[in-house]
Amino acid sequence: MAFLRNALVLNLDEQVTALAGSDVAGQLLDFSVQDGRLRVEPAEDAVPTDYFVAVYEPVEGAHLATVGGDGAEDGSEPVFPESYPLDSALTAEGQIVTLPSQDGDSEYRATVTVQEFQNIFYAQMVAVPVAPITQIVANYVGIYGILALLILVAGAVATRWLVTLTFRSLGQVESTAEAIAGGDFSLRMTDIEPTTTEVGRLKTAINAMLDRVDAAISQRDSTVRQMRRFVGDASHELRTPLVTVRGYAELYRMGAIRGDEDVSQSMDRIEKEAIRMGVLVEDLLALARLDERRDVVIAPVDLRPVARDAALDLRAAAPMRPVTVIDTTVDELPPPVLPATQDEPDEQRRPPTTALTRAGATLSLLRRRPKPVPATSATGMRALPPIAPVPDEPAAAGATVPVVLGDENRIRQVVTNLIGNARRFTSDDSPIELRVGVDMTALLGWVEVVDHGEGVPDQIKDKIFQRFWRADTSRTRETGGSGLGLSIVASIVDALHGTVGVTDTPGGGATFRVAFPLAAERDAAEHLQIQTQPLERLRLDQD
């Protein structure tokens, strides 16, 4: 509106200037000169005008007359200056000014010019009303306001119709959403439009969201069932040893356990039940500590001594089980030389274990093959064959040494848990292999625990690392365990930014692999120089 008003005012100013430039006063007044002074009288043949003209005498600039404005209401006349000297008129000639009306309700645009009558100059001020402009603007606002309102209403109606027509299928989305809010997650969007449309993409996204929600709810329900089953199993497993301990305590208090043999047998049973409770409690505490996400000490760790020490521990716990440690980072190693024994002929002389080489690789460590049962010592204990001595030189640093970044104690716990899992699900004479290697493409160092048991079915490979999950859900299971060992492994590996997975062993069995980020080559070399391989652990006296 301001632009329109300004344009109209400019046009009005041009009209005022044109009128003031002509002798409009001479058309409305009769001029005469008396005693050298200018006199004016209204002209009888004056034409009616909507503008006003004021005339000022030339000497003192006194106001002589005001004419025009025919039809103007009383009080709407402009307020002209009382005097306008000729010199002021000459200075202001051509300038447009705004004059108020006498009642203050309207305005006039005015300008002054100098005119001549019989060589007498006088000032003439012409004032044109602004009221028509105000009326035009008001009419414009009213007309176009109503038109704009009609256009808005029509546009809203048309838009609503188009939106309703275009998104008619959103009614199905609404009904499906209401059903979902009511708890029915089985519904899916049908009649899906092409994905190039917004509605089509929306329906596709909602179906994908519902699939995820349904899967999440199913997983939650499964986790709740597993947790409830675990709580029941844990309660049962804790109650059984507690009842046993309490029973023996009551028997002792009642005097039913009298002899030394009975007391010894009772204490042995109490100790075994306490160990069962301790294992379960330790597993729960380990998971609780891992859930706290405490900061771990990350440092270079050589995976070879970790695998070797785990093999030694397994040999001590299960002497009859064949154990092998293989370092895949060494291409070729000389055959080990073991001392000959007098109990076997030369053609059957096989090493029960192999030693680490000068390169620091733990290859074929502790390999034991079926052979005649070794002789027993004088105390009745089975004598283990001696392990060959190893060189004193530390392992050499190479480009593919399996030195990773991690927490050594946590990594040892991971390997121990995997070996315990392999022992639990294989027979006592089934071999177990520990393989160590690196993946230079992914910059990972890895350890594999390979067993030759029944393996892991494909349908449960993605579940065995879940907390509280066991393949055997009965409380009379033969494998034992609380279902926390592999979940502890997964939690530790995740905290160390590693990976864990299981694949099938060729010929039957399961192969568990854990991998951790490799240390920088410089850090690995420094670690091998500072942390010399503890090869002396493998030496036994050969008396």
Lowest mean pLDDT across 10-14, 63-67, 205-209, 525-529 = 525-529
Point out the least confidently predicted range of 59-73, 274-288, 407-421, 488-502.
274-288
**Residue 514, strand partner residues:** 447, 500
Asked whether residue 182 is domain-assigned, the answer is no
- 22, 155: one domain: no
> Which are the contacts of 38, defined by CB distance < 8 A and separation ≥ 6?
31, 32, 57, 58, 64, 117, 120, 122
The pLDDT value given to residue 71: 67
Q: How far is CA 480 from the centre of its chain?
A: 40
Coil/strand/helix, residue 432: strand
Residue at 485 is within a domain: yes
Cα gap 305→533, rounded to integer Å: 7
Question: How many other CB atoms are there within 10 angstroms of residue 153's CB atom?
Answer: 10
Per-residue pLDDT band for 438 (boundaries 50, 70, 90) equals very high
Does residue 111 have a pLDDT over 50?
Answer: yes
* Residue where a domain stops, chosen among 81, 101, 129: 129
Question: Is 20 a domain residue?
Answer: yes
| Average pLDDT value for residue range 525-538 | 58
- pLDDT-above-90 percentage for the chain: 17
Lowest mean pLDDT among 75-84, 140-149, 430-439, 509-518: 75-84
Task: Describe the strand order of the beta sheet including 63-68 as a list of residue ranges.
Answer: 63-68, 52-56, 120-129, 107-117, 97-100
How many domains, in total, are found in the chain? 4
| Lowest-pLDDT range of 175-184, 242-251, 312-321, 533-542 | 533-542
Q: Give the lowest-confidence range in 176-180, 198-202, 272-276, 477-481.
A: 477-481
Q: Given this model, what pLDDT does residue 332 score?
A: 38
The pLDDT mean for the chain works out to 76
- Reply yes or no on whether the pLDDT at 364 is more than 80: no
> How many angstroms separate the CA atoms of 365 and 336, rounded?
10
- For residue 260, is pLDDT > 90? no
pLDDT of the residue at 294: 67
Last residue of a domain, one of 222, 256, 291: 291
CATH assignment of the domain containing 41: 3.30.450
Angle (nearest 5°) at CA 536 between 531 and 539: 160
**Residue 316 domain-assigned (yes or no):** yes
Q: Give the model confidence (pLDDT) of 269-298 as tens digits.
A: 888 888 877 877 777 777 666 666 666 778
Please tell me the least confidently modeled range out of 10-19, 148-157, 477-486. Answer: 477-486
pLDDT at residue 537 is higher than 60: no
pLDDT of residue 433: 94
Helix or strand or coil: residue 219?
helix
pLDDT category of residue 534 using cuts at 50, 70 and 90: very low
Is residue 408 one of the residues assigned to a domain?
yes
**Residues near 269 by beta carbon (within 8 Å), at least 6 away in sequence:** 244, 248
Chain mean position to CA 43 = 91
The pLDDT of 245-255, averaged and rounded, is 85
Phi, psi of 137 (to 5 degrees): -65, -40
The pLDDT of residue 291 is: 64
Average pLDDT over residues 139-144: 88
| CATH code of the domain in which 484 resides | 3.30.565.10
Q: Which of 366, 370, 338 is nearest to 353 (CA)?
A: 366
Higher pLDDT, 17 or 170: 17
Does a structural domain hold residue 109?
A: yes
Q: Please indicate, yes or no, whether residues 161 and 29 belong to a single structural domain of this protein.
A: no
Together in a domain, 21 and 115: yes
Is residue 490 over pLDDT 60?
A: yes
Sign of the dihedral defined by the CA atoms of residues 186, 187, 191, 194, in that order = negative
> Exposed, middle or buried: residue 56 (CB in 10 Å: 0-12, 13-18, 19+)?
buried
Which has more pLDDT, 305 or 232? 305
Distances (CA, A) of 269 to 234, 248, 252, 277, 278: 19, 9, 13, 13, 14
- Which residue(s) pair with 293 in the sheet? none
Highest mean pLDDT among 308-322, 350-364, 528-542: 308-322
Q: Stretch 51-78: mean pLDDT, rounded?
A: 81
Specify whether 415 is located in the same domain as 520.
yes
On whether both 119 and 240 belong to a single domain, the answer is no
> Would you say residue 521 lies in a domain?
yes
Between helix 408-424 and helix 303-317 the angle, nearest 10°, is 40
Same domain, residue pair 119 and 144 = no
The reply to whether 437 and 331 lie within a common domain is: yes
Average pLDDT of span 22-47: 81
Question: Cα torsion at 183, 186, 191, 194 (round to 10°)?
Answer: 90
pLDDT of residue 144: 87
332 and 356, same domain (yes or no) = yes
User: Does the structure show a pLDDT above 60 at 254?
Assistant: yes
Residue 360 has pLDDT above 90, yes or no: no
pLDDT higher than threshold 60 for residue 129: yes
Q: Is residue 532 pLDDT above 70, yes or no?
A: no
Higher pLDDT, 233 or 408: 408
Residue-wise pLDDT for 460-470, tens only, equals: 888 888 766 66
Give the per-residue pLDDT at 336.
37
Q: How confident is the model at residue 137, as a pLDDT?
A: 85
What integer pLDDT is reported at residue 230 of this predicted model? Answer: 65
Q: Tell me which H or E stretch contains 248.
A: helix 198-254
Task: Give me the amino acid identity at 271.
Answer: E
Q: What is the rounded average pLDDT of the residues 27-50?
A: 80
Mark whether 306 and 423 lie in a shared domain.
Answer: yes
Instruction: Residue 221: give its domain's CATH number.
Output: 1.10.287.130
Q: What is the DSSP string of 321-373?
A: S-EEEEETT-S--PPP-----TTS-GGG---SSB---TT----SBT-----SP
- What does residue 427 show for φ and ψ, rounded to 5 degrees? -75, 165
Note down the domain range covering 508.
299-336+352-368+397-538
Residue 110 in any domain: the answer is yes
Q: How far apart are CA 326 and CA 299, in angstroms?
A: 24
Q: What is the pLDDT of residue 464?
A: 84
pLDDT band at 213 (very low <50, low <70, confident <90, very high): confident
Asked which of 74-78, 308-312, 438-442 is least confident by mean pLDDT, the reply is 74-78
Q: What mean pLDDT do residues 43-56 have? A: 84
Q: Do 414 and 519 belong together in one domain?
A: yes
Same domain, 112 and 159: no
Q: Does 243 lie in the same domain as 161?
A: no
